[in-house]
Amino acid sequence: MNVIRSQKAWLSPLLAGLAALALLLSGGLASASESDLVLPDLGTQSFGGVDGRTLLLGGIVVCALGFVFGIVIFSQLNKLPVHRSMREISELIYETCKTYLVTQFKFILILEVLIGAVMVLYFGVLRHMEATKVVVILLSSLVGIAGSCGVAWFGMRINTFANSRAAFASLKGKPFPTYAIPLKAGMSIGAVLISTELMLMLMILLFIPGDYAGPTFIGFAIGESLGASALRIAGGIFTKIADIGSDLMKIVFNIKEDDARNPGVIADCTGDNAGDSVGPSADGFETYGVTGVALISFILLAVPDAGVQVQLLVWIFVMRIVMVLASIGSYLLNEAIAKASYANADKMNFEAPLTRLVWLTSIVSVALTYAVSAFMIPDLGGDPSLWWKLSSIITCGTLAGAIIPEMIKIFTSTESRHVREVVTASREGGASLNVLSGLTAGNFSAYWMGLVLVVLMGVSYLISAQGLESLMMAESVFAFGLVAFGFLGMGPVTIAVDSYGPVTDNAQSVYELSLIENVPNIEAELKKDFGFTPNFDKAKHYLEENDGAGNTFKATAKPVLIGTAVVGATTLIFSIIVVLTRGLTANVDRLSLLHPPFLLGLVTGGAVIYWFTGASTQAVSTGAYRAVEFIRANIRLEGVEKASITDSKKVVEICTQYAQRGMFNIFLGVFFSTLAFACLEPFFFIGYLISIALFGLYQAIFMANAGGAWDNAKKLVEVELKEKGTPLHAATVVGDTVGDPFKDTSSVAMNPIIKFTTLFGLLAVELAIEIDRTTSIVLAAVFFVLSTVFVYRSFYGMRIKSGERAPAAAGARVTA
C-alpha cells in the first residue's frame, strides 16, 4: 500500500497524458487495419477428408490432454516425500512469493486501466465500433492478462514445492533424483503453459465471429504482453536486489552460501521465483501468443486468396498441436533413457540429459514438420513443392531452438573455456579482471549469435523466394515469422529447461535454510520414517553441481526468447507498414535511409534501449543498497541459528518496493515514448521499432551471456575448486553481482518490451495518421515531455541518496 500511495506524485503526468490522448482521438477515421481483419470460414477447406474447423476442434482436445499431463505431474511432485524442516522453508518461500504476486497483479490492473482507456477510445470513439465489439476486445485483453498471470502463478507454485522435494531427494546420495525432479516440474509448467495458450487461441479462432476475431486477437495479445512486461521487469528487479543483498553478505561477514542467519536468503529464494519462474512463465506465454497473432495478421493482410488463407491458418495451428505431442513424447523417451543410465549412478553430468532432451525434441519436431505438412498442404495454391519449402523454413527455427543453446553453452557452461578464463583471470587480477573477462565473453557471444541468426534467417529468405511470392506479398517477412514460429515449436521443452534453474537454485537454499543436519537424531528419524540413511556431504555436492547446470540452461533459454521477439516483431512491423503504405502501393520510398525521419528513428530506438538498460539497473542498485543496508544493520551471527521471519519479510518488502517503483517508471516511460514517436512521424516510428528490435537483440544477448559466464565462474570456484571464503571466491562473487542485473533484469525484460512497444505501436500509429500535421507535432511534444518525466524519475527518483539509513529492527544488533 505504501508504494501505491507513492504513485500520487505521478497522477498529474498520467492525467495530462490521457488528456492529450483524448485530443489525439478527436481526429477522423483511420484507414483499414488489424482491427478490421475478418477471419475466413475455416470449414471451407478439407485436409485428408476432414474440414479445417473439425481438425482444430480436435486440437482443443489435444490441448486439454496436454493440460491434464501437466496437472498430473504437479500432483505427483506434490506427493513426493519431504522432511518437515524442508517443507516449512519451501512453504515460507511460497507465502512470500504469493504476497509479492498479489501486489504485482494489483499493479497490472492499474496499468490495464490506462491501456484499456486507449483501446476504448480507439475502437469505440475513433473506429466507431459497436459497444459489444469494444467490450469483447476489453475482455480479450483481460483474458490475456489472466493467462500471463495464471501461468506465472502456476509456475511459482510448483517450483516452490519442487525445491524442497529435490533437496530432500538429494539426501539419498544419488544424483538422478536431484536432476529428475526439477525437470519434471519444468515439464509440468511447459505443458500447462503451452496447452493453455494454444487452447485460448483456438477458441478465439473457432468460437469468436470472424469479424470480431481481428480486434479480439489484438486485444488478447496486448493484454498478455502487458502482464508479461510488468512481471518480467518487476521480477527481474526484485530477484537481483535480493540476490545481491544476500551474496554481498558472504564477503562482508565471511559467511557461507545461503547461511540461515542471513535475513536476505529468504528474499533471494523469493526472487529466484519472481525473476526466474514468474517472469519467464509469463514471458513464454506471451511470446507464444504474440508470435501466433503476428502470423495470423500477416496471413490475413498479405495473402489475397481466402482458400490459401484457410490452408495456412489451419496448417500453422495443427503444427503447433503436433509440437505439443512431440515435446511430451520426447520428454518421456528421454527420461526413460536417463533413468536407465543414471538411476543407480553415483556421478552424472547434469547437463547431458538436458542437452539430449533439447536435441531429441528438435529432431522429432523436424521429422513431424515434414510429415504433417506433406499430408496437409501437398498442393498449396497449385504448387506441389511448397509443403517442403514451408517445412524447411520452420525447420530453420526449430534447429535454432537446439543450436542456440549449444552456442550459449560455449560462453556460460561450467565446462566452457570462457567461464574458466573468468576464473583464471580472477585468481591473479581479482574482481577487476573478473569483470573484464566476463564482458569479453558477452561480446563474443553476441557476435556468434548474430551470425547464427543471420544464417538461419538468410536460408529462410532464400527458400521463400522459390515460389511463395505467387501466394502473398512480402514473402520473406512471412518466412521470418515462420522462423520465430519454429523457435517456439518445442515450447514445452524450452520452458522446461528454463524452469529447471529456479528449482535447482532454491533446492540448494532450502537445504541450508532447513538446518536439517542440526535436527536431533535426524539420521535415525530419516531411517525410520523414510527408509534411508542420509549422506549429507554428497547431497550438498549434488545440489551445488546441479545448480551450475541450472544456471547454464537458464542462460540458454533467454536468447531463444529474445530471438523470437525480434524475428516476430519483424512480422508485426510489417503489419504497420501495410497500413502506412496502403498495401505497399504508396510511400514505400519512405522506408529508406534517404528519408531522414526513418534514419532518425533508427538512431532514437538505440537511445531508448540504453535508457531502459540503465533504468532497470538503477532500480536494482538502489534497491540492493537499501537491502544491504538493512541486512548489515540487523544480521545476527551469534546466539541464533537462523534469521527472524520478521527481518526476512522486511527484506522482501524492500525488494518489492523498489521492483514496483522501477517497473512503474520504466513502463510509463515506454508507454508515452511509443505515443510520442508514433505522433511525430509514422516512418520515423517504423525506424524506431526496427531499431528497438535490433539494439535490443544485441544488448540482451551480450548482457545475458556475460552474466551467465560470471555466474558459473563463481559456481566453478565453489563446486569444482572448493575455494569458498578465499579471495578468489570474493572476486567471483563481485563479478556475479555485476552479472545479476545483466542476465536477469535488463536483458530478459527486452523481450516483452520489444513486443509490447510493437503491439501498442499498432494502435498508436493508427491513432496518429489521421490528424493534421500541426496537431500531431504538438501531441508528439506533449507525450515526449511526459515520457521524459518518467525517464527522469527512473534515475533521479530512484538514485541512492546519502545520509539516509535503513531502519533497524527492534532490538537488533550486528555481531561479526
SS3 assignment for 570-628 = HHHHHHHHHHHCCCCCCCHHHCCCCCHHHHHHHHHHHHHHHHHHHHHHHHHHHHHHHHH
Contact in structure between 191 and 492 (CB atoms under 8 Å)? yes
| pLDDT (tens digit per residue) in 465-511 | 998 988 988 888 889 888 888 887 788 998 999 899 889 988 988 99
| pLDDT at 198 > cutoff 70 | yes
Mean pLDDT value across residues 243-265: 81
For 110-120, the pLDDT digits (tens) are 889 888 887 88
pLDDT band at 26 (very low <50, low <70, confident <90, very high): very low
For residues 580 and 377, what is the distance between their CA atoms, to the nearest angstrom?
Answer: 32
* DSSP three-state, residue 370: helix
Stretch 392-409: mean pLDDT = 90
Least confident of 104-118, 198-212, 790-804: 790-804
pLDDT given for residue 417 in this prediction: 93
The pairing of strands 46-47 and 50-51 is antiparallel
- Give the tens place of pLDDT for each residue, 688-739: 999 999 999 999 999 999 999 999 999 899 888 989 889 999 999 999 999 9
Mean pLDDT for 567-594 is 82
- Cα gap 303→315, rounded to integer Å: 14
Whether 176 contacts 338, CB under 8 Å: yes
The pLDDT value given to residue 25: 41
Do residues 790 and 676 lie in contact, with contact meaning Cβ atoms separated by under 8 Å?
Answer: no
Query: Half-sphere exposure of residue 38, counting CA atoms within 13 Å on the CB side?
Result: 6
**Quick one: cell of 105?**
497483479
Between CA 680 and CA 53 the distance in angstroms is: 43
Find the Cα–Cα–Cα–Cα dihedral 661, 662, 666, 667, rounded to 10°.
-50
CA 141, CA 144: separation in Å to the nearest integer? Answer: 5
Half-sphere exposure of 209 (CA within 13 A, CB side): 7
Percent of the chain predicted with pLDDT > 90: 52
Cell 540504453 locates to: 610
State the pLDDT at residue 55. 94
Task: Give the residue-averaged pLDDT of 191-199.
Answer: 94
Rounded to whole angstroms, how far apart are CA atoms 494 and 405?
Answer: 10
Judge whether residue 300 has pLDDT over 50: yes
What is the mean predicted confidence (pLDDT) over 553-564?
80
Confidence of residue 239 (pLDDT cuts 50, 70, 90): confident
Predicted pLDDT of residue 35: 55
How far is it, in rounded angstroms, from Cα 287 to Cα 185? 21
Q: Which of 660, 752, 616 is nearest to 283 (CA)?
A: 752
pLDDT at 321 over 70: yes
Q: What is the pLDDT of residues 619-674, one digit of tens each?
A: 999 999 999 899 988 888 888 888 888 888 899 899 989 998 999 899 999 999 99
Does residue 297 contact residue 37 with C-beta atoms inside 8 Å?
yes
User: What was the pLDDT predicted at 790?
Assistant: 95
Q: What is the mean pLDDT of residues 168-191?
A: 95
Which residues make beta-bridge pairs with 51? 46
Task: Read off the pLDDT band of 153 (50, 70, 90).
Answer: very high
Res 288: pLDDT: 84
Determine what percent of the chain is predicted with pLDDT higher than 70. 94
Query: Which residues make Cβ contacts (< 8 Å) with residue 655, sequence separation at least 6?
Result: 238, 241, 242, 245, 267, 270, 271, 623, 627
Q: Residue 576 — pLDDT band, cuts 50, 70, 90?
A: confident
Residue 527 has pLDDT above 90, yes or no: yes
Q: What is the DSSP letter of 123?
A: I
Sign of CA dihedral 460, 554, 720, 334: negative
What's the mean pLDDT when you consider all of the chain?
87
Structure confidence at residue 803 as a pLDDT band (50, 70, 90): low
CA distance 692 to 682: 15
Amino acid (1-letter code) at residue 49: G
For residue 130, what is its C-alpha cell?
A: 459497436
DSSP 736: H
What pLDDT is attached to residue 79? 95
Beta bridge partners of 636: 815
The pLDDT assigned to 232 comes to 87
CA 684 to CA 593: how far, in whole Å?
11
The predicted structure's pLDDT at residue 36: 64
Segment 49-99, tens digit of pLDDT = 899 999 999 999 999 999 999 999 999 999 999 999 999 999 999 999 998
CB 421, CB 512: distance < 8 Å: no
The predicted-structure confidence for 741-800, as pLDDT tens digits, reads as follows: 999 899 988 888 888 888 888 778 877 877 788 888 999 999 999 999 999 999 988 888
Q: Who has greater pLDDT, 433 or 111? A: 433
Q: Which three cell numbers, joined as nine digits, stand for 561?
A: 526468447
For residues 215-223, give the mean pLDDT.
86
